Amino acid sequence: MRFDVVSIFPEMLRPFFSQGILLGAQEKGLIDIHVHDLRVFSCDPQGLVDDRPYGGGAGMVMRPEPFARAVEAIQNELKFKPFVILLSAQGVLFTQEWAKRLARKPAITILCGRYEGVDERVLSFCDVELSIGDFVLAGGELAAAIVVETTARMVPGVVGRFDSVATDSFYAGAKLGFPQYTRPRVFRGHAVPDVLLSGDHERIRRWREKEAWKKTLRNRPDLLGLKFPPQGCAESNPEV
């Protein structure tokens, strides 16, 4: 599977893609990651990729031409059209299900926005606009790293044992992962639950299932359609 990421700060991304499982997957030939400098595709002799917004307002907006030229160059190299993603705070929420879906594509191209946003016409040659959460980043680079790693983990062989992926939070739906323990058996007065030492695999399975649902209820009640605040998020003085 091939990933192409287009950014005005490519050097922010290259070190991330050169470590850990992403490096190992590239060395095995399972994935291929290319990072492109958007300024190379600028129509401006100085490499500018942004301009003032029509209608007025603060900040600068990224122009559509450099993104279009970048996507066209990648498509010409591939000899087919990749699945093109624009990262934006206004996009559809990126989830584990999206990662599974993207992992079935032969190639995806990720466009990283900056400044006050990207010209809306960029969406005319994108397949989807994605957001990694209900917050705003300075740019799409961190989001791109998240999308690439999350998707790459769904490619067979990238993670050594796929059963470790299948037990991740969100993999099997709206449920968090179960608590994990390792040595030492007792740490600062906190002991490993006895059931995990029992050797009874069915008891362990049932315990993990129960604890996963308890953690989901405690930390992410929204996944269960509930609206009360997660533990630790209640206002200490709601009258102020």
Q: Are residues 14 and 94 in the same domain?
A: yes
> What domain count does the chain have?
2
Question: What is the overall mean pLDDT for the chain?
Answer: 91
Q: Are residues 140 and 228 in the same domain?
A: no
User: Residue 129 belongs to what H/E stretch?
Assistant: strand 128-131
Q: Are residues 20 and 132 in the same domain?
A: yes
pLDDT of 226 higher than 80 = yes
132 within 8 A of 143, measured Cβ to Cβ? yes
Q: What is the DSSP string of 81-111?
A: PPEEEEEEEEEEEP-HHHHHHHTTSSEEEEE
Section 102-119 average pLDDT: 95
Domain membership of residue 164 (yes or no) is no
Q: Are residues 33 and 66 in the same domain?
A: yes
213 within 8 A of 224, measured Cβ to Cβ? no
| pLDDT grade for 223, boundaries at 50, 70 and 90 | confident
Q: Are residues 89 and 7 in the same domain?
A: yes
Residue (of 154, 172, 162, 180) closest to 223 by Cα position: 172
Domain membership of residue 118 (yes or no) is yes
114 within 8 A of 8, measured Cβ to Cβ? yes
Section 176-187 average pLDDT: 91
Domain membership of residue 91 (yes or no) is yes
pLDDT of 150 higher than 60 = yes
Q: Are residues 104 and 212 in the same domain?
A: no
Domain membership of residue 161 (yes or no) is no
| pLDDT grade for 166, boundaries at 50, 70 and 90 | low
Q: Are residues 37 and 93 in the same domain?
A: yes
Pairing of strands 190-191, 186-187: antiparallel
Domain membership of residue 168 (yes or no) is no
Residue 71: which domain range?
Answer: 2-152
Number of neighbours of residue 115 by Cβ within 10 angstroms: 17
d(Cα 72, Cα 77) in Å, to the nearest integer?
9
CATH code of the domain covering residue 233: 1.10.1270.20
User: Residue 233 belongs to what H/E stretch?
Assistant: none
Domain membership of residue 163 (yes or no) is no
Domain membership of residue 167 (yes or no) is no
Mean pLDDT check: name the lowest of 16-20, 90-94, 131-135, 161-165: 161-165
Chain segment 4-39, per-residue pLDDT in tens: 999 999 999 999 999 999 999 999 999 999 999 999
Q: Please tell me the predicted confidence (pLDDT) of residue 238.
A: 45
Domain membership of residue 169 (yes or no) is no
d(Cα 8, Cα 38) in Å, to the nearest integer?
5
Chain segment 78-90, per-residue pLDDT in tens: 999 999 999 999 9
Q: Are residues 121 and 186 in the same domain?
A: no
Structure tokens at 216: 């989901």
CATH code of the domain covering residue 138: 3.40.1280.10
- Three-state DSSP class for residue 136: coil
Structure tokens at 21: 């499982």
Q: Are residues 137 and 184 in the same domain?
A: no
Q: Are residues 7 and 99 in the same domain?
A: yes
Q: Are residues 9 and 125 in the same domain?
A: yes
Q: Please tell me the predicted confidence (pLDDT) of residue 172.
A: 56
Q: For the chain, give the percent of residues with pLDDT over 70.
A: 89
User: Residue 55 belongs to what H/E stretch?
Assistant: none
Domain boundary among 121, 152, 183: 152
d(Cα 223, Cα 212) in Å, to the nearest integer?
12
Q: What are phi and psi of 103, to 5 degrees?
A: -65, -15
| pLDDT grade for 160, boundaries at 50, 70 and 90 | confident
Q: Please tell me the predicted confidence (pLDDT) of residue 129.
A: 97
Helix, strand, coil shares, percent, the chain, to 5 = 40, 20, 45
Q: Are residues 19 and 93 in the same domain?
A: yes
